Structure 1
Amino acid sequence: MKDLIDIHPKASSFKIILDKVKHHAKQSMNDAFDYAKQKWDKSHKVPDFKVGDLVLVSTLSFNNIKGPKKLKDSYVGPFVIVALHGTNAVQVELGGELRINTPPFQNPTPLTVPPVEQNEDKKIKKVIKERRLRGKNQREYLVRYRNPVHEDEWLAESEIPDSDKLLRRFRHERRPQA
């Protein structure tokens, strides 16, 4: 700092103060993170379930337990673990009249998308709209294709095959009828 000639003494001392404040804030945040982690780790432990263990099950997902909600047990069981699904999720063998609303581990069938055939020619059905590009004296036309697989797209007049016929029909349809 002392090597720089142009800096005002108050500016250099202000920079030193800002650096100290930044260091103090960073240190305080790290201390707070460490304290929170220590408190969390003290009261929480990772469950170590194994297949065959007995566990209690929450009754929130059951729809067929009779009686008022207020008097229902919060947990029922014990039930035997059949399979593990991660660290906190297990599959249990429910016995008796207990049923769950929906299966907790749904395996949706993947959607099959029909393959798009690339060898089909793009034949234009009609022209839908026209627009003028800003700053250019050029028009583009929104064209719709006969095959519904292809999406509508904006093309210049030079890119449209049989443009004179299609554009004549487009302009005729837009003309107000008398």
Structure 2
Amino acid sequence: MGLVRALPPGGDRSFNSCLVLIDRYSKAAMFLPCHKDDTSMETAIMICNRVLCHTGLFQNIISDRDHKSTSAIWTNLHNLFGKKGIILKSISPSN
């Protein structure tokens, strides 16, 4: 998971960033237009609405974002599904 920022605004909602998700097993890439100041809950809802309906819930997240942001997104995803007591696992790209 990565976030490309500082893009010129585009689209009817003036998106200025792109969330990049790559499935490491299928090598499929997903590019989701977003805003650079979206909250972790807004990002979780976007992932839920646009990605999880096709892939199912992630087993782990490898991210170039800081671990607090990744953990917040992960927690919000599980909260959207009503899951509690989930072990959070965030892996840095260097691992």
TM-score, normalised via structure 1 length = 0.16
Higher relative contact order (CA 8 A, sep 6+): 2
State which structure, 1 or 2, has the greater radius of gyration over its C-alpha atoms: 1
